[in-house]
Amino acid sequence: MNTVTASQPISIDLFCRVIDNLGDIGVCWRLARQLAAQAEVAQLRLWVDDLHSFARIQADVRCDLQSQHVQGVQIEHWHPDRHAYPPPYPFIIEAFACEPPEPMTRPLNDAEHVWINLDYLSAEPWVQGCHGLPSPQANGAKKYFFFPGFIPQTGGLLREADLLTRRDAFQQDDQAYQAMLNRLGVAQEHIQALLKGEMQQMFLFCYPDAPVLTLPEVLSTLEQKTLLLVPESVALRIPELAQGQLLIQRIPAVDQADFDPLLWRSALNIVRGEDSLVRAIWAGQPMLWQPYVQEEQAHLDKLQAWLDTGTLPEAAQALHLGWSSADQAGSTAALARCLEPQVLHLWQQEARAYSAKLAEQADLANSLLSFYTQVARNR
Ligand code: TRH
């Protein structure tokens, strides 16, 4: 029997099924790159069913290949017509209960494999009770529930080791910022205004039901000019003509590695779902999060649980609740209060402190490797 011990290099199969939007592949691609970069990881295969969605956040992914290597990761197209599969590697990470192909789960056994289901991110209190629990599967193997999270009793958050150092450097580096704005197609006069501090940048990434008209209503009346960067397919209801102090700039999709710098220089990051929430936290700037809409308003419980992990000013909490309830009047009043100098200052301080506090926790990729080692050692 080829029993794998904890001290051997680890080879990993990571499975991702794209259900909706970019969140599934967004989390898996970021995790795959981070795991592949770890010294103790020998091989990493990322199995993805939808390469077209993948190519939207990593432009050099080819949609016509069954196998390809990108940034140290072996990418495998997992499609219904594929019948030949290799033997599974010792560590199997199934993202979001995506049910890997049967030929790869049938051979799994507890003596040779560690099989986990990586769950969605939530700050709800029940998560810590379920994190790490085993669940017996039909083939006799155990599958462990593994939860990312905001407290040390969970698997933590995705964070590259050098992320905050790179963030701090970019926030001081006007040349790199200018190059980014050029790539996004921002007009030279606006770039100059941003660099001189005569204009502030904000970023908007939301779901279609967000009360986006809140933004022109409040931002057009501010003393300072604002350039709001909006990805092409987002917030289609927002008027694109300049209004008062507000300018709106549509931007093309960027590769995932270029997504962070977009957030690092924004005075306000409006984000959604799972992965961009975490990236906005690491940006350390004021942020507004919209969770993925769920049945029976379950996303509002998720939102409240996340708000409870920090100490946002009351106006910023009201803004979150209004934004996720499609309440334009409530959001408008709350955003106006949030941008008053005293509240804004508190919001900025809290954002910085919150990202520093969470960065003290082990990150998700390292937590996964520790979990593997612990299970492998104890069998
Ligand atoms: O796309 P999302 O709405 O994904 C959602 C959520 O994750 C939700 O929890 C899940 O259940 C649902 O999908 C199926 O938002 P999210 O999670 O922020 O993912 C977006 C990803 O896209 C993130 O990794 C950042 C990346 N991205 C780019 O790389 N370039 C871009 O230009 C943009 C706009 C996004």
Which residue from 21, 61, 70, 183 has its CB within 8 A of the most atoms of ligand 1, so it is best to mutate? 21
pLDDT of residue 114: 98
Please state, in angstroms and as integers, the Cα–Cα distance from residue 81 to each residue in 16, 17, 49, 67, 315, following that order: 17, 15, 11, 14, 52
By residue count, the chain amounts to 379
**Active-site hit among 24, 112, 260, 363:** 24
Mean predicted confidence (pLDDT) in 77-81: 92
pLDDT of residue 7: 62
pLDDT of 271 higher than 80: yes
Q: How far is the CA of 221 from the centre of ligand 1 (A)?
A: 30
Q: What is the pLDDT of residues 303-324, one digit of tens each?
A: 999 999 999 999 999 999 999 9
pLDDT of residue 53: 95
Q: Is residue 2 part of a domain?
A: no
Please tell me the distance from the alpha carbon of residue 272 to that of residue 360, in angstroms, as a whole number.
Answer: 24
Mean predicted confidence (pLDDT) in 250-259: 93
Contact 38, 8 (CB under 8 A): no
- Same domain (yes/no): 193, 330: yes
Which DSSP string corresponds to 229-293?
A: EEETTS-TTS--S-BTTEEEEEE----GGGHHHHHHT-SEEEEETTHHHHHHHHHTS-EEEEPPP
- Same domain (yes/no): 208, 231: yes
- Same domain (yes/no): 290, 153: no
Contact 216, 238 (CB under 8 A): yes
Mean predicted confidence (pLDDT) in 6-11: 80
Which DSSP string corresponds to 164-224?
A: HHHHHHHHH-HHHHHHHHHHHT--HHHHHHHHTTSEEEEEE---TTS-TTHHHHHHTTSSS
- Same domain (yes/no): 370, 300: no
- Same domain (yes/no): 122, 175: no
Long-range contacts of 23-27 (CB under 8 A, 24+ apart): 23/273, 23/274, 23/275, 23/292, 24/95, 24/96, 24/98, 25/50, 25/53, 25/54, 25/57, 26/57, 26/256, 26/273, 26/274, 26/275, 26/276, 27/95, 27/118, 27/158, 27/274, 27/275
Which residue from 274, 282, 303 has its CB within 8 A of the most atoms of ligand 1, so it is best to mutate? 274
Q: Is residue 4 part of a domain?
A: no
Closest ligand 1 atom to residue 252 Cα is: 32
Closest ligand 1 atom to residue 291 Cα is: 9
Confidence class of residue 1 from pLDDT cuts 50, 70 and 90? very low
- Same domain (yes/no): 80, 207: no
Q: Is residue 63 part of a domain?
A: yes
pLDDT of residue 2: 41
- Same domain (yes/no): 198, 109: no
**Ligand 1 proximity of 21 Cβ (cutoff 6 Å):** yes
Pull the structure tokens for residue 58.
Answer: 């990593």
Query: How many domains does the chain contain in total?
Result: 2
- Same domain (yes/no): 141, 206: no
**Ligand 1 proximity of 227 Cβ (cutoff 6 Å):** no
Q: How far is the CA of 276 from the centre of ligand 1 (A)?
A: 6
Q: Is residue 270 part of a domain?
A: yes
**Ligand 1 proximity of 13 Cβ (cutoff 6 Å):** no
| Residue 12 three-state SS | strand
Contact 311, 327 (CB under 8 A): no
**Ligand 1 proximity of 254 Cβ (cutoff 6 Å):** yes
**Ligand 1 proximity of 101 Cβ (cutoff 6 Å):** no
Q: Is residue 99 part of a domain?
A: yes
- Strand-by-strand arrangement of the 41-48 sheet: 67-70, 73-77, 41-48, 10-16, 91-95, 114-118, 142-146, 134-136
Confidence class of residue 292 from pLDDT cuts 50, 70 and 90? very high
Mean predicted confidence (pLDDT) in 59-80: 96
The range of the structural domain enclosing residue 292 comes to 163-359
Pull the structure tokens for residue 45.
Answer: 């295969």
Please tell me the distance from the alpha carbon of residue 200 to that of residue 204, in angstroms, as a whole number.
Answer: 13
pLDDT of residue 80: 87
Confidence class of residue 98 from pLDDT cuts 50, 70 and 90? very high
pLDDT of 6 higher than 60: no
Q: Is residue 170 part of a domain?
A: yes
Contact 168, 137 (CB under 8 A): no
Please tell me the distance from the alpha carbon of residue 358 to that of residue 13, in angstroms, as a whole number.
Answer: 28
Please tell me the distance from the alpha carbon of residue 28 to that of residue 14, in angstroms, as a whole number.
Answer: 8
pLDDT of 3 higher than 70: no
CB neighbours of residue 226 within 10 Å? 22
DSSP state, 161? T
Per the prediction, the chain carries an average pLDDT of: 95
- Same domain (yes/no): 229, 102: no
Q: What is the pLDDT of residues 21-45, one digit of tens each?
A: 899 999 999 999 999 999 999 999 9
**Ligand 1 proximity of 273 Cβ (cutoff 6 Å):** yes
Q: What is the pLDDT of residues 275-291, one digit of tens each?
A: 999 999 999 999 999 99
- Same domain (yes/no): 262, 276: yes
Cα 128 to the center of its chain, rounded Å: 20
Instruction: State percent of the chain over pLDDT 70.
Output: 98
Candidates 215, 204, 351; CA nearest to 286 is: 351
Confidence class of residue 239 from pLDDT cuts 50, 70 and 90? confident
Pull the structure tokens for residue 191.
Answer: 């770039």
CATH number at residue 95: 3.40.50
E strands, 2-60, are 10-16, 41-48
For residue 124, indicate whether it is catalytic. no
pLDDT of residue 21: 85
Pull the structure tokens for residue 14.
Answer: 């990571």
pLDDT of residue 296: 86
- Same domain (yes/no): 244, 183: yes
pLDDT of residue 77: 97
Mean predicted confidence (pLDDT) in 235-242: 86
CATH number at residue 274: 3.40.50.2000
Q: What is the pLDDT of residues 131-187, one digit of tens each?
A: 999 999 999 999 999 999 999 999 999 999 999 999 999 999 999 999 999 999 999
pLDDT of 128 higher than 90: yes
pLDDT of 196 higher than 50: yes
Q: How far is the CA of 226 from the centre of ligand 1 (A)?
A: 24
Q: Is residue 5 part of a domain?
A: no
Contact 358, 157 (CB under 8 A): yes
Q: Is residue 291 part of a domain?
A: yes
- Same domain (yes/no): 171, 78: no
For residue 24, indicate whether it is catalytic. yes
